[in-house]
């Protein structure tokens, strides 16, 4: 299982939200590059970078943060938040992202998202499938769709998506453990459909036992954010998992 630290950006600073609520924001550091370098020094190879300003606005905003991290570290960056057009996509790749995560666009403009998948391939295009009460959420989690998250994922697996990042918004930032039931349901549904999936769990991880539980479940990666800032999982301890 790949360990993927997360950096979420608002106004150029490293922040964490609680359950996706922009009104419940905590700033942890004003310099994302310093945080990224700490993760790199700890042995991490990949970074999940989220433009929360962009996710809310529907267009990429913090691409300069991406560019700085991509140019000054060796981290493999997957970038999400606000990628709503081909112009946004090209900007993100030109700024140094190795992969992009599309969530809102995959709900609102299926045709365009599939054109990205066809052009760049499943190694570079990740499906973002974040859910509240089982329904896919969009626009930086400020809006809920009527799409059931497992059905949503399966529909894209049938069309060539292989990498999926999924967050249960109810546990994100709560430090109460990941949504094992959600991930089990997704993995079982994919297996029954005969489709391959690389499922990355995100949200709620707060201790090493959570990592053990996710390994046992069979996810291929886990995104860790608040637990690293709050040091309930330290970088020193995390190095044993990398």
Helix (H) or strand (E) run with residue 23 in it: strand 21-29
| Catalytic residue from among 51, 130, 168, 172 | 130
Distance (Å) of CA 19 to CA 63, 133, 202, 214: 24, 12, 12, 20
Q: Which residues contact 115 (CB under 8 A, 6 or more apart)?
A: none
Angstrom distance (rounded) from CA 235 to CA 2:
14
Distance (Å) of CA 25 to CA 17, 55, 184, 188: 5, 15, 30, 34
Distance (Å) of CA 177 to CA 78, 95, 171: 23, 33, 7
Residue position matching structure tokens 């590059």: 33
| Catalytic residue from among 8, 53, 78, 168 | 8
Distance (Å) of CA 162 to CA 53, 79, 210, 220, 231: 27, 17, 24, 11, 32
* Longest CA pairwise span in the chain (Å): 45
123 among known catalytic residues? no
130 among known catalytic residues? yes
> What are the catalytic residues?
8, 130
């Amino acid at each position: 299982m790949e360990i993927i630290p997360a950096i979420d950006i608002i106004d150029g600073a490293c922040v964490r939200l609680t359950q996706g609520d922009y009104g419940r924001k905590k700033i942890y550091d004003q310099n994302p590059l310093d945080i990224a370098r700490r993760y790199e020094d700890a042995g991490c190879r990949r970074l999940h970078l989220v433009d929360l300003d962009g996710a809310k606005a529907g267009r990429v905003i913090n691409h300069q943060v991406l560019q700085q991290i991509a140019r000054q570290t060796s981290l493999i960056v997957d970038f999400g938040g606000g990628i709503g057009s081909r112009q946004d996509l090209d900007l993100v790749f030109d700024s140094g992202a190795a992969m992009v995560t599309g969530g809102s666009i995959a709900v609102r403009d299926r045709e365009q998202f599939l054109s990205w998948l066809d052009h760049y391939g499943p190694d570079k295009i990740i499906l973002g499938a974040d859910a509240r009460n089982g329904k896919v959420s969009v626009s930086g989690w400020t809006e809920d769709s009527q799409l059931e998250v497992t059905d949503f994922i399966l529909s894209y697996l049938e069309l060539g998506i292989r990498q999926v990042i999924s967050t249960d918004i109810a546990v994100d930032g709560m430090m109460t453990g990941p949504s094992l039931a959600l991930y089990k349901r997704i993995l079982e549904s994919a297996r029954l459909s005969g489709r391959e999936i690389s499922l990355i769990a995100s949200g709620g991880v707060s201790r090493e036992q959570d990592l053990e539980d996710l390994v046992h479940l069979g996810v291929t990666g886990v995104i860790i954010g608040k637990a690293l800032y709050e040091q309930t999982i330290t970088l020193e301890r995390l190095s044993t998992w990398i």
